[in-house]
A and B are shown apart, each in its own frame.
Chain A
């Protein structure tokens, strides 16, 4: 020890004995202030929670057909047959009347909706064998919370099962593009020069191909009759293949600027190996920006999957996805008279909006200008 420090007054305030806040805690505190972002986050947690519990929440099997074609949503009443108020919801049967081309309630069929009923067997998360469902009406009363489609399948059940596909595609595709984009962009930005030029030209070639056309062309190459799980996988690969270039460009730009920051220079002046500098200093610096870019680009993948499925090139019926469910709502008659068929569009809308709100909030929370 030298004598200097003894005479040096501490030039920080010695009042906080609490452990230091990590940058993540700081960002979380910033994020919590943003109400729209928190609303988006909660919405997304609910959506993904529903997707995970889809089999439990859905009263019917997603491919189960009935003769109730285009049945409107079943009515829900909070009174029993005597007209007295009841907390338990009641529903009635709807029957199609060809004379006026509409569904009407069948008198005297008011039946209670039961909760946690035993129904179709399923495997929760693909593992846990269960028969219990959140709700269900007696077997002789068809209970379709959001109506039925052109084949008499329960829209509510299909919406839930479809969300598993539509929501996971965005997440998985972004995980793949994120890792490719981060690696490729990080390398291009850090080394610069010729490596950078070559990588960026490749990215530009990929980006200059009209994206939707490329998607359609690639999807068209898939054989028509393959395992739907394989289709799912192929769609993810196609989406990632098209999507990584944009993210790589963003990351490259960020690592170009992070490379010039003094803490990177300082690490180099310490003789820290290059790989470690990229891994420990460049990529984490780029990570915050890139995760914002990623959050904001997830809706793009969800929309792209919907678009492909809408055109019949994605997930094939009877397997539901929001996109192929929406393709049933193409003609004007359906849009005008069978409004419940637009539920998947509403779900896409809510999801995309929630991701955008969250992404915007993350951008504000992670903005280093507010912190440094």
Chain B
């Protein structure tokens, strides 16, 4: 593709966030009337790239050209003005306004001079824009009353009202039904006909096979290659998305045990998401680290929360050492020895303004108290002990947790549970946003805990981590348990195939 014909051309885009190089020297071209898909694992840099092209982030380096002309986006508004519209995964609509109000939000045609009254012609104009997209309901309908699929069409209508020539869609189908997805694809084909360039991000490789003219693959923030036409095929994409050697900082001691593993936790025909049709069964044995792999939104966090009693279990039975357990609340799960290290430690795992000590003892206050009065001496002893054991680097146990590094915060969140001697530990993304040093320590700790007989379920979107630490792996896709891989069957390709909805074989 020559420079002159490309509608959008990004050259050597780089972007770093604290602790991560999200993108390095990524190049990408898009021509008019083309659907370009960008694929990659979680954290490969797709969303960052889209946000840079949509004006949300500014790149650290690199240049963007529109029609060959060098541009710099300082804001979303400016990108829109230049004809680039970004449709986020979580739609950004004002639910309380009507359809027309949303389509023209911020650019309402006005009359009435100083009073800037909104001109009623927005309704007719909104209708003109939306009807070709197949959204034929009254533009006076409140957007909050629309289905997600219809809202998506309103977002696209908004992009068209902006005269966008490039529309970026980030996971547009993640909450759509099959029918709505089909409808969206028809709309995308129409957009193509109209000469609009579409950048399409999705985890769903089957959809990409259907809709994309060209696919760019990113891995670890780098461009690894592209596929076009006939080459666009599930296996080929997976091969390009993974494929790298494992780094050697995983500590998993594996001893060949003679005795068969003792099952601690067992789930039978569990359903925990409304969209699940069939129940899923799994088991966790003492001394085992089991990985739960899948892409974001596959329903893994929700499973852990259901076991921990935070979200209701819709169907199925949980057994702990063969005894039926109905975890109706976290306090009951904790009492039974099941504990969850939540996905978002800042929101769910820690009381950030409180001290290291207060966080460490938060879940054991009753146990450490005498007659319901806190015993400061014992609390301090426990906290000091945990800081030593987990190597939590803090000036003192009275330091505010918010001021610690991500890795040390995560260790504090873990320490909170280790005080309660869990038998089953559910770890949700235990090393997300954690520096390499602390990661290694967390892996070593997991290994040690497993050897002491704890059962660990590790949810992770990091394939290396899944492969490096797990004795066994379950894979989820779209609320379904798509497969179980034994140690000997583990490979990046196998996990990725199951995680993107491919068949297990």
Q: Do A and B bind each other?
A: no
Interface residues of B (CB under 8 A from A): none
